[in-house]
């Protein structure tokens, strides 16, 4: 499984690349707004970080666009900025048609806002590079995610499509575990989600026990 960072903050991205070895970055308009920078600033700065690597960065098109032709044109513009950029297009009928229009081009597409297996299947059929089901939003609204990811993984991989399932909107270690158990290809989570996942009371308890034992060893 690959690990991506869900962030538009350059300091978080460079930290995660260096310390955690992340293999990709995902962003969206909320992350850009939270960073306090412009979309152009983010694209220019993250390009400097990744352009000499194989790390991909998912950049979202304008969410107001609702016609496939306009979506495809904006996707081409974003992709032309950096070879590492993967363009996020929503899993709507027009969005999936835009993906079809981009077939044969050099544009890699991350189909985002996927919430059912049919959306995932059609994205794979149309040649998506990544397919991003959102788990956090569902769970926050009382939905059960037990079979959600595994059903999407099956919809994509049972038919040998090349698309990778990228589990998104991951909010906690429990959802990380669910993505792992569902055999997703990739998961993306925020900086603090990963930080918290490194920490458990049991690891600290074990370190306290072993430290006490260490200190009592005769010298």
The reported pLDDT for the residue numbered 172 is: 93
The tally of CA atoms less than 13 A away on the side-chain side of residue 2 is 20
CA distance 98 to 75: 9
The reported pLDDT for the residue numbered 219 is: 87
47 catalytic residue (yes or no): no
pLDDT in tens, 90-110: 999 999 999 999 999 999 999
pLDDT in tens, 51-84: 999 999 999 999 999 999 999 999 999 999 999 9
88 falls in which pLDDT band (50, 70, 90)? very high
Task: Assess contact for 6 and 57: CB atoms under 8 A.
Answer: no
Section 121-138 average pLDDT: 95
Decide if pLDDT at 199 tops 80: yes
What structural domains does the chain harbor?
Answer: 2-216 (3.20.20.70)
The reported pLDDT for the residue numbered 142 is: 82
Section 34-51 average pLDDT: 97
Residue 32 CA: distances (Å) to CA of 117, 128, 142, 186? 29, 24, 27, 22
pTM: 0.95
Task: Assess contact for 131 and 163: CB atoms under 8 A.
Answer: yes
Burial 151-172 (b: 16+ CB within 10 A, else e): ebbbbbbeeebebbbbbbbbbe
212 Cβ contact partners less than 8 Å away, ≥ 6 residues apart = none
145 falls in which pLDDT band (50, 70, 90)? confident
The reported pLDDT for the residue numbered 137 is: 83
Decide if pLDDT at 146 tops 90: no
- Of 9, 37, 48, 88, the catalytic one is 88
Task: Assess contact for 149 and 171: CB atoms under 8 A.
Answer: no
Decide if pLDDT at 87 tops 90: yes
The reported pLDDT for the residue numbered 138 is: 86
- Rg of the chain over CA atoms, in angstroms? 19
The reported pLDDT for the residue numbered 182 is: 95
């Amino acid at each position: 499984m690959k690990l991506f960072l869900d962030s538009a903050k350059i300091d978080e991205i460079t930290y995660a690349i260096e310390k955690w070895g992340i293999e990709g970055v995902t962003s969206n308009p909320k992350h850009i707004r939270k960073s306090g920078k412009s979309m152009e600033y983010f694209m220019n700065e993250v390009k400097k970080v990744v352009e000499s690597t194989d790390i991909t960065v998912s950049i979202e098109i304008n969410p107001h666009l609702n016609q496939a032709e306009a979506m495809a044109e904006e996707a081409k513009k974003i992709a032309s900025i950096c070879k590492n950029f993967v363009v996020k297009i929503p899993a709507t009928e027009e969005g999936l048609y835009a993906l079809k229009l981009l077939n044969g081009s050099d544009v890699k597409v991350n189909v985002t806002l996927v919430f059912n297996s049919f959306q995932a299947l059609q994205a794979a059929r149309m040649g998506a590079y990544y397919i991003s089901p959102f788990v956090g939003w569902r769970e926050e609204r009382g939905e059960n995610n037990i079979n959600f990811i595994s059903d999407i993984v099956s919809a994509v991989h049972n038919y040998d499509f090349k698309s990778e399932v990228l589990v998104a909107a991951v909010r906690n270690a429990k959802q990380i575990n669910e993505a792992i158990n569902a055999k997703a290809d990739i998961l993306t989570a925020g900086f603090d989600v990963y930080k918290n996942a490194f920490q458990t009371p049991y690891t600290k308890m074990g370190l306290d026990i072993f430290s006490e034992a260490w200190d009592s060893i005769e010298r």
